[in-house]
Amino acid sequence: MAKLAPETPIRYLKGVGPKSAARLARLNIKTIKDLIYHFPSYYQDFRRLKQIRRLHFGETVTVKGKIAKLENRLTKRGKTMQQITIEERGAFLELLWFNQPFRLQGLKEGMELIVAGLVKKSPLGRWQIINPLLEKGKSGQQTGRLLAIYPETDGITSNYLRKVIASLLPHLSDHLFPDYFPPDWRQHYRLLPRWQALRQIHAPGSLEAAQRARYSLAFEELFLLQLPLLYRQKQERNKPAPSIKWNWTLAQEAERDLPFRLTASQKGALREIAQDLQRPYPMNRLLEGDVGTGKTIVAALAGYQISKAGYRVVLMAPTEILARQHYQRLQPLFTQWHSPIGIWTSQYRENIRAPFLIGTHALFHHRREIGDLGLVIIDEQHRFGVSQRAQLVARNQDGTYPHILTMTATPIPRTVNLVFRGNLDVSRLTDLLPGRQPVATFVVPPRKRAAAYRWVAKEIRVKKEQAFVVCPFIEISETMQSVRAATKEFDRLRKIFAGFRLALLHGRLKSQEKAAILEKMQKGAIDILITTPVVEVGIDLPRAGIMLIENAERFGLAQLYQLRGRVGRNNRKSYCLLFSETSSVKSQRRLRLLTKLHNGLALAEADLKLRGPGEVLGTQQHGYPQLKLASWLDLELATKVHQAAQQAVNIPSGEYASRWQKFLQDWQEKVTLN
């Protein structure tokens, strides 16, 4: 075989022609490295050699025997069936294939075979294996061992992949795949050398060996995900930022003007922010907390401090509705503090020279006009692109960089937080604001819909409650007629709730129309608001105490959690009704979790176990990759890897530091090209 390199195209491998290369590309296999890193999904265990007379139904076995009979015949349905009967010490086993006449080529009676597969019983009570692995002679290369089963595609089978990969395994070495971890690290973390782990995962001698190889390569996988983030954190800490001393007297005076007392976790977060701001490099802190834990007031207090120290502050909101809401809520407070506050969106501008400025994406187009910044606060940062965030936190004219505080109420599993937010300092708000109660949540089956409507009508009439009705779509979809749409529900519910005041809110309305509807809702002039998930993030309507969610099974638990958070924002008992017509046991089980759990992190962890990372995290939307080997549920492994990655970024030079730098350069090129 010619000299190989990880980037060698697979078309240069023996047994890989143009057609096979095109098919392999559908599995994202284009190079030698892609092929070697195409890992088995599981293994079939053919190590147990059994006598035919001792077979049992449902077991996977390997057996030896001589061909007693070969037959190629037509079935009643016009298909061909290939049948071989093998014999061992007077006991017989049938081997069956359908429409594969080539299976009998080169075989004859009396020839010895080794076969492996799942044992079944024929209607006549005979032992048989359908589509077995079959090898001539007394010893086999595939039978009698653990057999790797791979993700496949049309025209590319596990058998083909095993043959192509097997031709590469003898060539694996530290030269071809240099190790990322020094020998003492491998010993400490119980890791195999990289080339050995790669060889062992494809052709393990035992399940224990396969497990150790998977562990070593899963460690590598998470390490290479965290390394760029932690290097970026180190680079950020080499940038200059204004060192701002926290004025605790000013802070106490501001707190006295609040309509409530700060919780213990809010005070803790402010202390952490105060410590960050005094450092000579930019703060990069994530303020994470469930709905109702008071993230915005913490951010406002931090922004007030910095604006009073003579620096400008920007609070970025993902939508115009949320930006205006922040402005309306904070303006009275900042007026009381005798500190100007402004807003700048595509539709609304007021006091745009104020030291504390609230805005939306519109600010990205006016970054130079805003001037130097001391603090950038980003609400729900995953709703802004990487380049947009970078533009906002760009270097000031005096050479310094602004401090960054991001906020999120989106519950993210702890493992994901550690891997993808390991470069952030995290403050967690864990206490609900005084007087807040958990929202009582119920799954409503179709037969109870009418009763639920009667209950809602009574709550509005007697207790003067307001209600949301959230639908997945704005209009009816031609391909999903059973999914309820806001416009259609608005027309239907106006008849059901005749005599009540209904309104319709969705993303296609103009900003002024949305603002007018929300203002009427705030004043109590609307009883029921039919809407879409446009209300998911941050909308604060304290009068609303009832949330109805249609086709709840179509939403992830994180999104349902956010929607539920639009009610329960006062001291009264609030309710969330999840309407679902699905018969899926899995979906019903997932919805029932929401009725039991009121902690966002606990919900995220539970949803991860039920649905897997792809659906929970929205990998395509948020950029979270699917893991090949590591598990998002393995917090212990993620913690170990995080420790190793932190150690790596603090090693300035040496053989392994050079390898990490090479990986980072390649990684940066891929990011730039994509």
CATH code assigned at 104: 2.40.50.140
Cα 314 from Cα 15, distance rounded (Å): 60
In a domain? residue 342: yes
> In terms of domains, do 218 and 327 share one?
no
Contacts of 614 (CB under 8 A, 6+ apart): 626
Q: Percentages helix, strand, coil for the chain, rounded to the nearest 5?
A: 40, 20, 40
Sign, CA dihedral 8-13-18-21, equals: negative
Contacts of 254 (CB under 8 A, 6+ apart): 301, 304, 337
Tokens of 333: 């407070």
In a domain? residue 624: no
Helix axis angle, 264-277 to 295-308, nearest 10° = 30
The DSSP code sequence of 484-514 is -BHHHHHHHHHHHTTTS-EEEE-TTS-HHHH
In a domain? residue 434: no
Contacts of 350 (CB under 8 A, 6+ apart): 327, 342, 343
What does each C-alpha distance from 650 to 190, 267, 284 come to in angstroms?
22, 32, 19
> In terms of domains, do 276 and 415 share one?
yes
In a domain? residue 491: yes
Q: Is 475 exposed, middle or buried (0-12, 13-18, 19+ CB in 10 A)?
A: exposed
Helical spans, DSSP H, in 295-381 = 295-308, 320-336, 367-370
What tens digit of pLDDT does each residue of 210-259 get? 999 999 999 999 999 899 888 888 888 889 999 999 999 999 999 999 98
Domain containing residue 210: 172-236+634-674
Backbone phi and psi for residue 103, each to the nearest 5 degrees, phi listed first:
-60, -25
- For residue 262, what is the domain's CATH number? 3.40.50.300
CB atoms within 10 A of CB 66: 13
> In terms of domains, do 415 and 289 share one?
yes
In a domain? residue 559: yes
In a domain? residue 281: yes
Bridge partners (DSSP) of residue 99 are none
> In terms of domains, do 37 and 166 share one?
yes
Which bin fits 499, alpha (ψ -120 to 50), beta or left (φ > 0)?
A: left
What does each C-alpha distance from 237 to 10, 282, 395, 402, 671 come to in angstroms?
42, 7, 14, 12, 22
Please write down the long-range contacts of 71-78, taking CB distance under 8 Å and 24 or more positions apart. 72/101, 72/104
Bridge partners (DSSP) of residue 84 are 70, 95
> In terms of domains, do 571 and 454 share one?
yes
What tens digit of pLDDT does each residue of 426-440 get? 898 888 777 678 899
Among 429, 461, 494, the domain-final residue is: 429
> In terms of domains, do 381 and 450 share one?
no
> In terms of domains, do 255 and 293 share one?
yes
User: Can you give the pTM of this predicted structure?
Assistant: 0.72
- Residue 482 CA, chain-centre distance (Å), reads 27
DSSP 316: E
So what's the pLDDT on residue 1?
54
How many domains does the structure of the chain reveal? 5
In a domain? residue 611: no
- For residue 29, what is the domain's CATH number? 1.10.150
What does each C-alpha distance from 612 to 226, 529, 552, 606, 618 come to in angstroms?
20, 33, 18, 10, 10
Residue pair 101/80 in contact by the 8 Å Cβ criterion: yes
In a domain? residue 563: yes
> In terms of domains, do 288 and 361 share one?
yes
So what's the pLDDT on residue 141?
55
So what's the pLDDT on residue 621?
39
> In terms of domains, do 178 and 166 share one?
no
> In terms of domains, do 655 and 670 share one?
yes
Cα 634 from Cα 208, distance rounded (Å): 18
- C-alpha dihedral (620, 624, 628, 630), degrees to nearest 10: -150
> In terms of domains, do 280 and 344 share one?
yes
The closest alpha carbon to 64, from 104, 29, 91, 43, belongs to 91
Residue pair 422/230 in contact by the 8 Å Cβ criterion: yes
Tokens of 280: 């000579």
Cα 106 from Cα 82, distance rounded (Å): 14
Cα 262 from Cα 331, distance rounded (Å): 19
Q: Which residue has the tokens 């730098």?
A: 661
Task: Report the amino acid identity of residue 564.
Answer: R
Cα 128 from Cα 61, distance rounded (Å): 12
So what's the pLDDT on residue 288?
87
Task: Report the amino acid identity of residue 524.
Answer: G
Among 373, 403, 429, the domain-final residue is: 429
> In terms of domains, do 489 and 550 share one?
yes
Among 362, 396, 429, the domain-final residue is: 429
So what's the pLDDT on residue 618?
45
Residues of the chain with pLDDT below 50 are 614-623, 671-674
